[in-house]
C-alpha cells in the first residue's frame, strides 16, 4: 500500500470532499464563481448531480437512498395526509396573585395599584402541579382521562396507549405531558395553559378541571400558611386564657375560704371602728378626769372606768384582727393583693396575645395567593393540530439533509479511492 493510502481516513475524506467540490464547481458552477455563496444555478447543479448519482447507483445503493430520503417523506405524506387524526386545542390564561409587595413591572405594576402583585415562584408551583402525576391522578377522579385520550377519532399513532406502549400510569403521565403544556410570560406575569384532545369539548373540560384543581392547590397552600402563621399565636392566647381562668378560680376559692369579698374594704371598716372606739375611749377618759376634779366620790367614776376598760379591750381586739400573726387582715390583704396583681398581669398578657393573634391573621391574609382567570378555556371549532404541511416539510428536509450527508460521504470516499490509484 502506498504512503498516500496510509493517510488517516478523516484527512483523506476531507481532502477528497474538497477536491470533489472544487471539481464540481469548476465543471458545473463556473457561472457562480464570481458571486458570494451558492447561486440558484449552483443549487440546481448539485441537485442534478445527486439525481445522476442516484440514477447511476446500483440497486443496493438505490434501496439505501430510498430508505434515507424517499421512504420517510412518503410515509410522512401518507400518515399526515390520510391517517393522522385531528386534534383540537383549548387555551386559557391565568395569573397567580399575592398581596405581598415585590419588585415588579409591566402588567404587574398595574396590578399592584389594587394592592395585589403577581408571584412568579408561586406561579411555578402551580405549573409544576399541572405537569405532575398528582394532577393526572386528580383529573382521573373527575374525568375519564383514558377514554378521552383514546377516542374513536384518534389514530393508532396518536391515541393512548401509544403504539407498542402499555396502559400504565407512567405512560399515561408521559402522554399527558404531550397533550398539556403550561407556559409563563416573564414580562406580563401571565401563565398560559394549552390542552390538546381529539374532541373540542374534551380539551375544554381538561383545561377547566386543571384550573379548578390548581385553585384547590392554591387554597390548600393558603390554609397551610394561615395555620402555620396563626397556630403559635392562637396557642399563646389559649394559654393566657387558661392561666387567667386559674387565677380567677383561686380568687373565688380565697373569698369562699375567708368569707371576704374584698379584704381591703374589710380592713377599712375595721380601721373605722377602731377610730370610733378610740374616740369613745378618749371621751370616757375626759369624763373621768372631769368627775375626779369636780366630785371625786362620784359613783359614775367607777362606771366610766369599766367603760374605759371595755373600750380598751375592744380596740385591742380590733387591732389584733387587723395585724394578727396568722389570721390578721394584713396577711389576708397581702395574699389577696398577690392574686389581684397576678390577675391584672394575666389580663394584660391576654390582651397582648390577642393583639399578636390579630397581627398574625393580618400577615397570613397578606401572604394569601389568588388564582385569577385572565382567559377562560373555550371549545375550538376547527382542529389546530397536527400541522400537516409543516410536519411533512420538516421530515422531507430532514431526509434531504440525511441524503445529502450520505451523498457527500459517498462522493468523498470515491474521490479518496480515485486519488489513491
Containing 413, the helix (H) or strand (E) segment is: helix 388-419
pLDDT of residue 362: 77
Residue ending a domain, among 227, 252, 274, is 227
Residue ending a domain, among 227, 248, 267, is 227
C-alpha cell at 155: 389514530
Domain assignment of residue 377, yes or no: no
**Global pTM value:** 0.60
268 and 396 belong to one structural domain: no
Residue ending a domain, among 181, 210, 227, is 227
pLDDT of residue 135: 96
177 and 254 belong to one structural domain: no
pLDDT of residue 20: 43
176 and 266 belong to one structural domain: no
Q: How far apart are CA 85 and CA 75, in angstroms?
A: 15
Q: How far apart are CA 301 and CA 289, in angstroms?
A: 9
214 and 162 belong to one structural domain: yes
207 and 255 belong to one structural domain: no
243 and 166 belong to one structural domain: no
Length reported for the chain: 421
pLDDT of residue 30: 44
Between the alpha carbon of residue 38 and those of residues 42, 49, 402, the distances in Å are: 6, 15, 20
Between the alpha carbon of residue 267 and those of residues 19, 33, 322, 323, 343, the distances in Å are: 124, 124, 7, 10, 21
Domain assignment of residue 381, yes or no: no
Residue ranges of the alpha helices (H) in 79-199? Answer: 107-113, 120-130, 133-142, 145-148, 169-179
360 and 391 belong to one structural domain: no
221 and 148 belong to one structural domain: yes
Domain count, the chain: 3
pLDDT of residue 25: 46
100 and 213 belong to one structural domain: yes
pLDDT digits (tens, 9 = 90+) for 77-115: 999 989 999 999 999 999 998 765 544 444 444 444 444
Domain assignment of residue 382, yes or no: no
Residues of the chain with pLDDT under 50: 1-21, 23-40, 42-43, 46, 102-116
96 and 78 belong to one structural domain: no
219 and 302 belong to one structural domain: no
51 and 98 belong to one structural domain: no
Q: How far apart are CA 99 and CA 116, in angstroms?
A: 4
Dmax (CA) for the chain in angstroms is 174
What are the E-state strand segments in 30-128?
88-98, 117-118
The DSSP result for 263-313, as a single string, is: HHHHHHHHHHHHHHHHHHHHHHHHHHHHHHHH-TT-THHHHHHHHHHHHHH
Q: What domain range includes position 69?
A: 9-83+387-419
Amino acid at each position: 500500500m502506498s504512503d498516500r493510502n496510509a493517510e488517516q481516513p478523516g484527512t483523506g475524506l476531507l481532502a477528497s470532499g474538497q477536491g470533489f467540490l472544487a471539481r464540481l464547481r469548476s465543471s458545473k458552477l463556473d457561472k457562480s464563481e464570481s458571486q458570494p455563496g451558492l447561486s440558484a444555478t449552483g443549487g440546481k447543479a448539485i441537485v442534478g448531480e445527486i439525481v445522476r448519482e442516484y440514477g447511476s447507483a446500483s440497486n443496493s445503493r438505490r434501496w439505501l437512498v430510498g430508505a434515507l430520503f424517499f421512504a420517510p417523506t412518503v410515509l410522512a405524506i401518507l400518515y399526515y395526509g390520510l391517517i393522522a387524526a385531528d386534534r383540537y386545542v383549548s387555551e386559557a390564561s391565568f395569573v397567580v396573585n399575592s398581596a405581598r409587595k415585590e419588585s415588579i413591572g409591566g402588567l404587574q405594576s398595574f396590578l399592584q395599584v389594587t394592592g395585589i402583585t403577581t408571584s412568579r415562584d408561586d406561579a411555578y408551583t402551580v405549573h409544576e402541579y399541572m405537569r405532575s402525576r398528582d394532577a393526572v391522578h386528580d383529573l382521573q377522579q373527575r374525568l375519564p382521562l383514558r377514554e378521552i385520550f383514546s377516542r374513536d377519532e384518534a389514530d393508532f399513532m396518536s391515541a393512548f396507549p401509544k403504539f407498542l406502549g402499555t396502559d400504565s400510569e407512567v405512560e399515561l403521565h408521559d402522554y399527558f405531558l404531550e397533550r398539556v403544556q403550561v407556559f409563563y410570560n416573564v414580562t406580563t406575569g401571565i401563565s398560559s395553559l394549552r390542552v390538546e384532545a381529539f374532541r373540542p369539548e374534551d380539551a375544554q373540560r381538561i383545561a377547566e378541571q386543571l384550573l379548578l384543581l390548581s385553585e384547590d392547590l392554591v387554597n390548600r397552600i393558603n390554609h397551610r400558611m394561615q395555620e402555620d402563621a396563626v397556630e403559635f399565636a392562637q396557642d399563646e392566647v389559649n394559654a393566657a386564657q387558661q392561666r387567667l381562668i386559674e387565677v380567677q378560680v383561686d380568687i373565688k376559692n380565697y373569698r369562699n375560704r375567708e368569707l371576704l369579698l374584698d379584704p381591703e374594704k374589710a380592713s377599712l371598716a375595721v380601721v373605722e371602728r377602731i377610730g370610733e372606739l378610740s374616740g369613745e375611749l378618749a371621751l370616757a377618759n375626759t369624763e373621768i378626769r372631769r368627775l375626779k376634779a369636780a366630785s371625786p366620790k362620784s359613783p359614775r367614776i367607777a362606771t366610766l372606768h369599766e367603760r374605759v376598760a371595755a373600750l380598751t379591750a375592744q380596740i385591742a381586739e380590733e387591732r389584733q384582727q387587723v395585724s394578727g400573726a396568722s389570721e390578721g387582715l394584713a396577711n389576708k390583704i397581702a395574699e389577696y393583693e398577690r392574686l389581684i396583681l397576678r390577675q391584672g398581669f394575666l389580663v394584660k398578657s391576654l390582651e397582648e396575645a390577642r393583639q399578636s393573634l390579630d397581627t398574625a391573621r393580618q400577615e397570613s391574609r397578606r401572604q394569601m395567593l389568588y388564582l385569577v382567570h385572565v382567559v377562560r378555556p373555550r371549545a375550538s371549532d376547527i382542529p389546530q393540530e397536527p400541522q400537516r404541511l409543516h410536519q411533512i416539510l420538516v421530515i422531507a428536509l430532514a431526509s434531504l439533509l440525511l441524503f445529502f450527508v450520505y451523498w457527500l460521504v459517498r462522493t468523498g470516499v470515491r474521490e479518496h479511492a480515485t486519488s489513491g490509484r
